[in-house]
Amino acid sequence: MQLPALPFLAWARHYNTSTAGRDALAAVIVTVMLIPQSLAYASLAGLPAQLGLYASIAPLLVYALLGTSRVLAVGPVAVVSLMTASAAGEVAAVGTPAYAQAALILALLSGGMLLVMGWFRLGFIANFLSHPVISGFITASAVLIAGGQMLVILGVRGGSQTLVDIALGLYRQADQISPWSAALGLGSLVLLIAARKGPGPLRVEAGVNARLAGILSKAGPVFVIALAALCTWHFGLDRRGVAIVGEVPGGLPPLSLPPFEPDVWRALLLPAFFLSLVGFVESVSVGQTLAARRRQRIEPDKELVALGAGNVAAAFSSGFPVTGGFARSVVNFDAGAETPAAGFFTAVGIALAVLFLTPALYYIPKATLAATIVVAVLSLVDWTILARTWRYAKYDWACALSTILGTLAAGVEAGLVTGIALSLLLVLYRTSRPHIAEVGLVPGTEHFRNRDRHAVRTDGRLLSLRVDESLYFANARALEDRINAQVAANPELKHLVLLCSAVNDIDSSALESLEAIDRRLAEAGITMHLSEVKGPVMDRLRQSDFLDHLHGQIFLSHYLAVKTLTPEVATRG
């Protein structure tokens, strides 16, 4: 089904009160979850708390109109907030107006890039982030985020761009650790973990409806935060070294204009690109997973436009970069959201909160918010990627490991660059040393397999080589070397047949090599043939004069080649 130009038209015309009811219920649950999360992610990004709420209004409205996922919950998320802090920290100091402006510029730039990628259907660019790189990156980012938030829990200043930053921060401020903050933060952490894992069986025993239990467990963090705020207020902990959220200005987000400063824009260009890429990949994979469960689909190129517009909206409404988050989307899905209207209702909920609820946020301890982040990101950590790739393919393991180490040691951008560059280089390296198998006929069939692995028939006068790679400049020489070596080892050789079933392309460099091989073999009295050349490759060869010069023939199938050149091998029996 082709979605209409404005995706909301696909669902808006069938919208009715029963759908609206389910969407509204889901929106209430997501709003309750989003309020503390948005405060926490704003502080992770190094920004004032209210910006988290601001970033959870306009982008959600825009995504509700343009998004193709029915249940994706857009807003501030952990990894993108960390990347924002990393990039903005390069051009300004935390707490300065320039820092908040850098966040606006980042949102505008990455929104613009996503829009351009969407309009030009460049969503495939995200495919160059391989699974090991993404997994490694998310895991390492989560470790950095958790480490940085542990500093906040201990009541010292954060700074979590690299593991070294975190260790140095802890070492230098060891004498400023606040025991009250630590107690409150660690206490919150224990309660949050318990709320997430422990009470399930208890509640089921108590006969509580499973779905209600699930919803209650999502609300757990809110109770923990309320409890911590109550303690802080009651015992006056804010006067004993416990940092609190403090005064949050009420009122809807003010309009904002990202300032145009060419140097800053240039410095933020690359970070914005990576931010777009990671945000898009995270969002699309969540969206696709959830859509598949309900046999719906999302359109990646339209998602680019929706996320891009959402970020542009954030840039003009005092927000910071946003994307579709994993945890909230799953909650939205589980709570029964049916259309993007749930996102619309969530935005309304946050708007009401920012209008009327901000005084209630005053006593929330930052250590408790940090604890909610730690719990949220720990679920992103997945070390099994190392074990799995080690078993399956060492080159994938190398990519995952180098992304993790690069991110932990040198920050998010360095980690991503390392991982992407290495994964691309390893693809080229692998294809530059192709697997070439000498094949023979599997008796009783017309099928040819590697003589080292199967019991097959061969003949000394005919050498059948199956080239297991497209031929291009990086492996053309390897092919020449291999054929030279094989031919030298077969003195009675009369025919070489290259089985091209796995050759998906032959570029001009490789064509020159093939011509050189054919010429040299002909001088040595050996004829070179090709078999099972694919249609697209054959079309290309016909454009050159290769076929005029080739001493041998092109056979439709390898069996036909063998039957023609050495009939006795092909005899069945």
17-44 and 78-91 helices cross at what angle (nearest 10)? 40
Closest distance of CB 380 from its own copies, Å: 17
| Cα distances (angstroms) measured from residue 501 to each of 48, 120, 449, 542 | 61, 34, 12, 18
**Closer residue to its own copies (CB): 476 or 496:** 476
Closer of 120 and 124 to its own copies (Cβ): 124
Q: Which residue, 196 or 449, is less far from its own copies as judged by CB?
A: 449
Smallest distance from the beta carbon of 540 to its own copies, in angstroms?
Answer: 6
Closer CB to its own copies, 96 or 384, in the complex:
384
CA dihedral 265, 271, 275, 278 (to 10 degrees): 150
Question: Which lies closer to its own copies via its Cβ, residue 255 or residue 485?
Answer: 485
**CA 374 and chain centroid, separation:** 20
- Cβ closer to its own copies: 235 or 392? 392
The number of beta carbons lying within 10 Å of the beta carbon of residue 563 is 17
Report the alpha-carbon distance of residue 300 to residue 281 in Å, rounded.
10
Half-sphere exposure of 548 (CA within 13 A, CB side): 4
Do residues 554 and 529 make contact, with C-beta atoms less than 8 angstroms apart? yes
Q: Quote the least distance from Cβ 269 to its own copies, whole Å.
A: 18
C-beta closer to its own copies: residue 229 or 437: 437
CA separation for the pair 140, 136 (Å, rounded): 6
Q: How far is the CB of 391 from its own copies (least distance, A)?
A: 5
Q: How far apart are CA 324 and CA 34, in angstroms?
A: 13
Nearer residue to its own copies within complex by CB, 442 or 569: 442
Number of H helices, E strands in the chain: 25, 8
Q: Do the Cβ atoms of 343 and 64 come closer than 8 Å?
A: yes
Indicate the residue among 196 and 540 with the shorter CB distance to its own copies. Answer: 540
Nearest to its own copies of 128, 235 (CB atom): 128
Minimal distance, residue 435 CB to its own copies, in Å: 6
Q: Angle CA(146)–CA(148)–CA(149) in degrees, nearest 5?
A: 65
CB-based contacts of 493, cutoff 8 Å, min separation 6: 460, 461, 462, 463, 487, 526
Distance in Å, CB of 69 to its own copies, minimum: 16
Q: Which is nearer to its own copies, 19 or 431 (CB)?
A: 431
Residues 6+ apart with CB under 8 A from 43: 49, 52, 152, 366, 369, 370
Min dist CB 459 to its own copies, Å, is 20
Residue 301 beta carbon to its own copies: minimum distance, rounded to whole angstroms: 12
Mapped onto helix, strand or coil, the DSSP state of residue 266 is helix
Residues 6 or more apart whose CB falls under 8 angstroms from that of 276 comprise: 110, 113, 114, 117, 308
Give the nearest distance from C-beta 545 to its own copies in angstroms. 10
Determine what percent of the chain falls in helix, strand and coil, rounding each to the nearest 5. Answer: 65, 5, 25
Question: Whole-angstrom Cα distance, residue 186 to residue 451?
Answer: 64
To its own copies, the closest distance from the beta carbon of 164 in angstroms equals 25
How close are the terminal C-alpha atoms of the chain, in Å? Answer: 53
Give the footprint of its own copies on this chain (CB under 8 A).
124, 127-132, 292, 388-389, 391-393, 395-396, 423-424, 427-428, 430-435, 437, 442, 445-447, 449-450, 452-453, 468-470, 472-478, 501-505, 507-509, 511-512, 520, 532, 534-536, 540, 543-544, 556-557, 559-560
Nearest distance, CB of residue 61 and its own copies, angstroms: 29
Helices (H), 154-261: 163-172, 179-197, 199-205, 210-235
Question: To the nearest whole angstrom, how small is the minimum distance from the Cβ of residue 111 to its own copies?
Answer: 23
Cα separation, 89 vs 109, in Å, equals 16
In the bound state with its own copies, the residue whose beta carbon lies nearer, of 1 and 5, is 1
